[in-house]
Amino acid sequence: MAKTRFKPKGKVVIGTVKGDLHEIGKNILVMMLKGAGFHVIDLGFDVPPEKFVKALKTENAKILAMSCLLTTTMISMEDTMEALREAGLSGKVKVMIGGPPTTDDFAKQIGADFRGRDAYEGVEQAKLFVS
């Protein structure tokens, strides 16, 4: 795809949040986003809020996807949303979250735009974000 004139659908910065080493679900979403034509900047796992902010700014990406598997690391999603606000990125970046401990209510509470139950939902939402 890189060697063709293929134009990516959009850029997605993605990572598993700070304190959390689980990455299998996140990796599935990465593969499916790439397959759907997105340019994906994968920051890996245990990603601190400032690293998400830096990548969004450097890459001028308009979508952030965060994953967490531990109830204790859900707070890192909230911290990242706060860091986005402080960096003036609120409203400029669409945020989706996922992972078993997350819920729609939690997404609303922290100001995320979407919570996906699985990678398929994540990809469909990313398409809606750029449409």
Query: Given the rule CB under 6 A, which residues bind ligand B12?
Result: 19-26, 28-29, 65, 67, 69-72, 96-101, 116, 118-119, 121-122
Contacts of 60 (CB under 8 A, 6+ apart): 11
Nearer to ligand B12, 5 or 30 (CB): 30
Q: How far is the CB of 72 from ligand B12 (least distance, A)?
A: 6
Judge whether 90 and 111 are in contact, CB under 8 Å.
Answer: yes
Handedness of CA 47, 52, 55, 60 (dihedral sign): positive
Nearer to ligand B12, 88 or 101 (CB): 101
Beta partners for 90? 93
Query: Which residue's Cβ lies closest to ligand B12?
Result: 25
Beta partners for 93? 90
Max Cα distance, the chain (Å): 44
Q: How far is the CB of 119 from ligand B12 (least distance, A)?
A: 4
Nearer to ligand B12, 15 or 53 (CB): 15
